[in-house]
Amino acid sequence: MHVLNDTSQLAAALSPLRMRVLRELHQPESATSLAPRLGLSRQTLNYHLRELEREGFLEVVEERPRRGCVERLLKVTSRAFVVNPALLGALSDDPHQARDRFSSAFLLATATGLIRDVAVLTERARAVEQRLATFTMDCEIGFASPAAFRAFTEELAARVATLASKYDNATAKSRRFRVVVGSHPVVTKSAAAAAAETARHQRQRQRQHRNTRNSARRE
């Protein structure tokens, strides 16, 4: 996992063409083999490959002679890339601005802060060749009703508070950790199904709006 902390890196990878290049190069390939699939000349593709390599997205894994020249095989440097929200500066979200802890805005703001902090700590740990101590819990739960969901969140909060009180050590030698607990519905619909649902909703709203206007005119 590679976190993008520089605006030049982000700019280098934003174009649809370069994102496709990165997807294709999860396995080592050369410009000669990749260019026909992308519908590009080898010279044009080489330009994009050099830019992506310069920004740290690609690395050379092999060089081999081929017809009087050297063929370079490249692959992506990480299995995945994540944009550090800190790149947005003051425009990034702040959980303190979202007061409702049950809102999606608060969850997104908290997740934004999580990515930002872990990105900073990962870079610092790597600089001193240390491993960053983290843990992650992830599970899916089926709730019978909104009341059951609410009861679960209240019980979970109470138990986490009990554990936090039990293990919290305020001495100077203790190392502080941040524990984040959140939940969201599981994504079950395809993009096409969600788009169709949105279209149906918009048509329904338009009919309701027309009916309201017609009723107002008759009155």
Query: Smallest Cα–Cα separation from 181: which of 151, 142, 153?
Result: 153
Residue 86 has pLDDT above 80, yes or no: no
pLDDT of residue 34: 92
Helix, coil or strand: residue 76: strand
pLDDT at 210: 86
Cβ-proximal residues to 81 (8 Å cutoff; 6+ apart), any chain: 1, 2, 3, 4, 13, 22, 57
Q: Which amino acid is at 57?
A: F
In what helix (H) or strand (E) does residue 78 lie, and over which residues does it extend?
Answer: none
* Torsion region of 56: left, alpha or beta (phi above 0 gives left; psi -120 to 50 gives alpha): left
Per-residue model confidence as pLDDT tens digits over 125-152: 888 999 999 999 999 999 999 999 999 9
| Cα distances (Å, whole numbers) of residue 64 to 26, 31, 32, 71, 74 | 19, 13, 13, 5, 12
Which of 2-6, 42-46, 90-94, 101-105 has the weakest average pLDDT? 90-94
Question: Two tokens at 156?
Answer: 């979970």
Residue 65's DSSP bridge partners are: 70
* Mean model confidence pLDDT for the chain: 87
Q: Is the pLDDT confidence value at 91 over 70?
A: no
Is residue 92 very low, low, confident or very high in pLDDT (cuts 50, 70, 90)? Answer: low
Residue 117: which pLDDT band, with cuts at 50, 70 and 90? confident
Alpha-carbon separation of residue 174 from 118, 167, 177 (angstroms): 19, 11, 10
Q: Check residue 70 and give its pLDDT.
A: 83
Per-residue tokens: 192: 């096409």
Backbone angles phi, psi at 73, to 5 degrees: -100, 125
Q: What is the pLDDT of residue 87?
A: 74
Beta strands in the chain (DSSP E): 2-4, 58-66, 69-76, 81-83
Query: Taking residues 22-45, what's their average pLDDT?
Result: 91
pLDDT for the residue 168:
95
Q: Is the pTM of this model over 0.75?
A: no
Tell me what percent of the residues of the chain surpass a pLDDT of 70: 94
In contact, 54 and 36? CB cutoff 8 Å: no
Which residue would you say has higher pLDDT here, 113 or 97?
113
Residue 214's pLDDT band, with cuts at 50, 70 and 90, is: confident
Q: How many angstroms separate the CA atoms of 73 and 63, rounded?
A: 6
Q: What percent of the chain has pLDDT over 90?
A: 42
DSSP string, 123-148: HHHHHTT--------------SSHHH
pLDDT band at residue 96, thresholds of 50, 70 and 90?
low
